Amino acid sequence: MSQEVFEALNRALERGEDAALVTIVSSQGSTPQRVGAKMLVYPDGRMVGTIGGGCYENDAFWKAREAIQTRKPLLVKYDLNDDFAQENGLVCGGQMQVYIEPLESTPRLYVIGAGHVGFNLAKLAATIGFKIHVLDDREKFANPERFPDAESVVVETIPDWLQRADIPSSAYVVIVTRGHTHDLDALRSLAKRELRYLGLIGSKAKVKRIYDALLDEGMPVEYLQRVHAPVGLDIGAVSPEEIAVAILAELIAVRRGKIHDPRVAAVSMRWDRLDRVPAE
């Protein structure tokens, strides 16, 4: 069983998919599974393996999904006493501890736009372990010579490629294209996806115009509230190099859990401010 779990975990990490490993680390008395039993939980609710079934496994399952989001491990104690066993239909009466460990794949950064900001962002992000993927419709800017550290450099119409691209939910995606139309097309394709991070470059007024256009098309406001826009931490950045640093700082903050719920808390505050910015 452990081999099946480890093989599934290896495949998930190779695909760029996060998961949580649930392991029984101690037990006393009568328990459904012995120490070392493992269960792998994916963000979308899939499971491989078991720690014995029943309501406590269901509880561990939900805690594992939460741990994937918070990226914080948990040690949970279950007391399978008579009352608990009767309530949940278990024929056991021991105690056990379960360790829930969130496991992150090597982060993948999709840079949508290979201009000056995208170039500097990809260059910097590669030095701290991000796997870089670049998309642009201009071969002059998007080529392996310009992005030697990238895993992939795609030259194609941006919305066409995004519509069929298999981007994992653990991915970080930054939209830094050269104009309003390309940003709008990219956000139209990406906002509906579940992603670890989605950022859009631009002034507040420009972002508002793009949001208004998508809302007029019927896009749910909840999708747009998950977007980091304007992208990056506010450090007063001006040059493409400085803007890349600001964006990368925000990616690191999300990756390390310093922005605990970026798609709701931080983004909703930006949305509130954005609502009060008049269009240019």
pLDDT at residue 280, as a whole number:
33
- Calpha distance 23→98 (Å, rounded): 5
- Euclidean distance between CA atoms 122 and 150, whole angstroms: 8
Question: What token pair was written down for 61?
Answer: 């399952």
Helices (H), 80-191: 82-88, 116-127, 158-164, 180-190
Residue by residue, what is the 3-state secondary structure of 80-111? CCHHHHHHHCCCCCCEEEEEEEEECCCCEEEE
Helix, strand, coil shares of the chain as percentages rounded to 5?
Answer: 40, 20, 40
What is the average per-residue pLDDT within 80-108?
Answer: 72
Would you say residue 87 has pLDDT above 60?
Answer: no
pLDDT band at 16 (very low <50, low <70, confident <90, very high): confident
- Cα 279 off chain centre by: 31
DSSP-assigned letter for residue 22: E
Domain residue limits, the chain: 2-103, 108-275
- The model's pTM: 0.77
Q: How far apart are the first and last CA of the chain?
A: 61
Model pLDDT for residues 162-194, shown as the tens digit of each residue: 999 999 888 999 999 988 889 999 999 999 998
Is the model's pLDDT at 90 over the cut of 60?
no
- The topology under which CATH files domain 108-275 is Rossmann fold (3.40.50)
The pair of three-digit structure tokens given for residue 256, joined into one six-digit string = 């390390």
Give the whole-angstrom CA distance, residue 229 versus residue 211.
10
Share of the chain above pLDDT 90, in %: 66
pLDDT grade, residue 276 (50/70/90)? very low
Residues 223-244 have pLDDT tens digits of 999 999 999 999 999 999 999 9
Strand ranges (E), the chain:
19-28, 38-41, 47-49, 74-79, 95-103, 108-112, 131-136, 152-155, 172-175, 197-200
Residue 70: per-residue pLDDT: 83
Which residue(s) pair with 172 in the sheet? Answer: 109, 197
d(CA 235, CA 72): 28
Tell me: the pLDDT tens digits for 17-56?
A: 889 999 999 988 777 778 999 999 998 899 999 998 777 8
Confidence band for 265, pLDDT divided at 50, 70 and 90: very low
- Residue count (the chain): 280
